[in-house]
Chain A
Amino acid sequence: MSKSNLTRRGLLKTSVVAGAGVALPTIFTASSAAAFTNEPTGGSVTLGFNVPQTGPYADEGADELRAYELAVEHLNGGGDGGMMNTFSSNALQGNGILGKKVEFVTGDTQTKSDAARASAKSMIEKDGAIMITGGSSSGVAVAVQGLCQEAGVIFMAGLTHSNDTTGKDKKANGFRHFFNAYMSGAALAPVLEKLYGSDRKAYHLTADYTWGWTQEESIVASTEALGWETVNTVKTPLAATDFSSYIAPVLNSGADVLVLNHYGGNMVNSLTNAVQFGLREKQVNGKNFEIVVPLYSRLMAKGAGENVKGIHGSTNWHWSLQDDASKAFVKSFGEKYGFPPSQAAHTVYCQTLLYADACERAGTFNPCGVAEALEGFEFDGLGNGKTLYRADDHQCFKDVLVVRGKENPTSEFDLLEVVEVTPAAQVTYEPDHPMFAGGNLGSCNAGA
């Protein structure tokens, strides 16, 4: 039988010790010793994939999500490694990021700034995401980029083409791999000059919101530099589905080139209308009437069907490219999903790899360290040739593709052919270029 020595003093002592023991873990976590927002502590790290799953850009969103899942698989050492094998930086080992297994959460942006921010916030606040990426529209990208800056996480932009994302709305925590409207203009102009001459009259139809405007501005500037004349620029509402009333005045305007600053469903409809009106068979000013679609994607070409044949535009990447990196990516994407990736899929895959690589090189998940590793980073082997992540505005500078709707497609995916690869030097601009002026990166925010 044991003798119990229960004294008042002893009881007090034990209860204090027990109390401290119970409270200890609480104290540590509650006072949050974390150096930055959502510092990963366990054996895994969470990335937030915020893409449109409903709404007008749901197709692009679905393709982005496929690419993200593929990227995570490759980062964790699964699959055939895809572009990790061709990437010029060899920091990634296929064991996750910094030895931590990569996990992800997904959300629906609905292509609305509000919903996108709500979804990104829930990833940061609830799921502990250390990085947010995705999006298929510039408005959403700018909104989510602002949020990530405030919250102190890195934002790797998805498909966003507006100059503003890395122009007047640029943020220290935000990075864009995709090209922009200025680059489209700079890449297209020489090709257009070669094809159609320097004495042309252009008529613009422009989607009436920020992206449309910056693209119109860019294309007008670069074509007028060739000697083209801009006859008229007409804004069309984003929700428009029938463009007949906008096409009819083009016929009598004396213009001989129609530029469609539209994207997604808008472009499919406006191009279809223009072709139905017989614009392409017309002769104006003694020249063939031409149509140009500055921002092209395969998914749009698919929507417009026959009508895209022979129509020129620019794109960030195309699966028919023959470099090793593109071939490796198309192969692993194709093996997993059964069809080639779109440019949206390519850009988000690159962004995920670039982020992971930057973490490895920086040796930390701290957003400020990662941002520093990305700034001024030169790399190759991700399908776009030699690329620079410029430190001044966090924009990638790389070759831009000028493409044309194929006359004789061999499959439902083989809709575009690459006409010219415009070298990066030709699309590079000064950070204080007037189209990008007015913004300020601010300083990097690591949050808590």
Chain B
Amino acid sequence: MLGLNKKDTTLLIIVAALTLLAPFILNPFPADSALAQFNAGYPDLMQRFVIFGIFAIGFNILFGLTGYLSFGHAAFLGVGSYSAVWMFKLLSMNVIPAIILSVIVAGLFALLIGFISLRRSGIYFSILTLAFAQMSFNLAYSVLTPITNGETGLQLTLNDPRILGVSATADGSIPVTNLFGIEMRGTYEMVAGPWSFQFNTGYYLCAIIMLLAFYLAVRIFRSPFGMMLRAIKSNNTRMSYTGLNARPYALAAFVISGMYAGLAGGLMASMDPLAGAERMQWTASGEVVLMTILGGAGTLIGPVLGAGFIKYFENIFSKINDNVLHSWFSFMPDGLEDAMVALVYPFIGKGWHLTLGILFMLVVIFLPGGLVEGGQRIMRAFKRRKPDETSSETTTEPAE
């Protein structure tokens, strides 16, 4: 189907089902129960899951296929966000022109940075991209304040000169982002007994775009172009000896992945019209590397899983405070309760980085192929009786 083989079609269908049913899957606990703390099915986080999924899918096209480790990918995300917000300020609140512009600008930016950075490979390439990203961050943070609004971040105001549309609505507030009149923030809440599920317009737009992005990534992975990129990863020198100039291919991969990042940035701004300089900081670039490695670099679904995993920790674990802990352990005797809280407290709330760090270490040490490898091992354990027929194509290779 759609030019995919049977296995990829299945994968695409699974991803489609997961994303479209996410409001149900992510809200497994009744809204009033103590476990509702772990529900993740609210619009903002679901949007983040798929947007960072797109970002990681794009990053994986570069890192997973060519092996070029870019430490500056957040710069493209940031550039995409800024272009989208400017489009909202100047042209219209429709998300389509904003997203298109953000992809184009990020692509051009990637072309420039890639052209220079790809003259070197390995660690030097990583350092060059890191330097560019950090330069962009500093420019956005202070030097280019008229364009980026510096530390505060670029926001919509009540006196934006919007060409197609109004500066302010009739009741004196800023108009909201929309898709031909359908508001992105619109949410339909469905209540089924103690459960409540939220269906958000913005989320479904992001989800559909992510499915398209995922499909495109599958096609790239399976194409001759993808094969060429894998060749760069496995032995670049041999490619040169055969008389092939690998750089245009690497540059193309770099630009494509930059455009994916720009798309993610544009979507982020479309869901929440603000662009902050922190989006370009090196920690943000590092985050996408973590997502990809955590999920499984070079696999199709890995980066999406990794993105979801990290965003879940950032948004759910960081919100558990000691009061919540006390209510969990309140069934215990007083002394024991306090001891349990003291024991768990460093790992939640502000300590979510610590928990994530430990998990990341465990994954890298025991599952070098990321979460996808974990899944494969479980599958294999179930299918133990059947002859082992995992071909090299389905197993993941540890990130280099």
Residue numbers of A with Cβ under 8 A of B are: 25-26, 29-30, 32, 53-54, 58, 69, 104-108, 112-115, 117-119, 121-122, 125-126, 137-139, 142-143, 146-147, 149-150, 164, 169, 208-211, 235, 237-238, 439-440, 442-443, 445
Contact = CB atoms under 8 A, between A and B. Distances in A.
B342 to A, nearest CB: 16
Contacts of A209: 141-142, 150-151
A236 to B, nearest CB: 10
Interface string B144-177: 0100011111011111000000001001111010
Indicate the member of A54, A114, A169 with the most B CB atoms within 10 Å: A114
Contact of A169 (B150, B152, B318, B350): B152
A113 B274 contact: yes
8 contacts: A29-B191, A122-B45, A143-B153, A164-B152, A169-B155, A237-B138, A442-B174, A445-B173
Interface stretch (B36-44, B97-105, B216-224, B360-368): B36-44
Contacts of A237: 138, 142
B315 interface: yes
Given A29-B189, A107-B318, A238-B151, 13 more contacts: A30-B191, A54-B353, A106-B349, A107-B319, A108-B319, A119-B319, A126-B42, A138-B151, A142-B152, A143-B274, A209-B151, A442-B168, A443-B173
A117 B279 CA distance: 13
B95 to A, nearest CB: 15
Nearest to B171: A443
A108 B155 contact: no
Interface string B214-232: 0000000000000000000
Contacts of A235: 142
B393 to A, nearest CB: 37
Taking residues whose C-beta sits less than 8 angstroms from the other chain, chain B's interface range is 35 or more
Given A54-B350, A442-B158, A139 B188 contact: no
A255 to B, nearest CB: 23
Contact of B44 (A125, A138, A139, A208): A125
B198 A125 contact: yes
A26, A105, A112, A117 — which one has the most chain B CB atoms within 10 A of its CB? A112
A235 B150 CA distance: 14
Closest 4 CB pairs of A and B: A443-B172, A53-B350, A209-B151, A113-B276
A117 B274 contact: yes
Contact of A108 (B141, B190, B350): B350
Interface string B116-154: 000000000000000000000010011001000111110
Most buried by A among B48, B138, B156, B172: B172
Contacts of A30: 188-191
Contact of B48 (A69, A118, A146, A439): A118
A138 B152 contact: yes
Contact of B319 (A122, A138, A150, A210): A122
A143 B318 contact: no
B272 interface: yes
Contacts of A104: 323
Contacts of B315: 118-119, 122
Nearest to A145: B155
A115 B168 CA distance: 27
Interface of B: 39, 42-45, 48, 138, 141-142, 145, 149-153, 155-159, 168, 171-174, 176, 185, 187-192, 196, 198, 272, 274, 276, 278-279, 314-315, 318-319, 321, 323, 349-350, 352-353
A106 B319 contact: yes
Given A107-B319, A138-B152, A113 B278 contact: yes
B78 to A, nearest CB: 10
A143 B171 contact: no
A149 B151 contact: no
Contacts of A147: 272, 274
Q: Which of B42, B168, B185 gathers most chain A CB within 10 Å?
A: B42
Contacts of A114: 153, 274, 276, 278-279
Nearest to A168: B157
Contacts of A54: 350, 353
Nearest to B155: A146
Contacts of A115: 278, 314
A121 B272 contact: yes
A445 B276 CA distance: 24
Given A32-B189, A143-B152, A442-B173, A122 B44 contact: yes
Contacts of B314: 115, 118
B278 A440 contact: no
B318 A119 contact: yes
A112 B159 contact: no
A142 B155 contact: yes
Contacts of B157: 439-440
Nearest to A28: B191
B276 A143 contact: yes
B359 to A, nearest CB: 17
A113 B153 contact: yes
Contacts of B350: 53-54, 58, 108
Nearest to B36: A126
Given A30-B191, A113-B278, A122-B319, A139 B152 contact: yes
A26 B197 CA distance: 12
Contacts of B150: 139, 209-210
A239 B151 CA distance: 12
Contact of B153 (A32, A53, A126, A139): A139
A324 B347 CA distance: 40
A124 to B, nearest CB: 8
A439 B39 CA distance: 38
A26 B190 CA distance: 7
A134 to B, nearest CB: 13
A366 B229 CA distance: 57
Contacts of B188: 30
A371 to B, nearest CB: 13
A32 B188 CA distance: 9
Contacts of B42: 121-122, 125-126
A439 B192 CA distance: 44
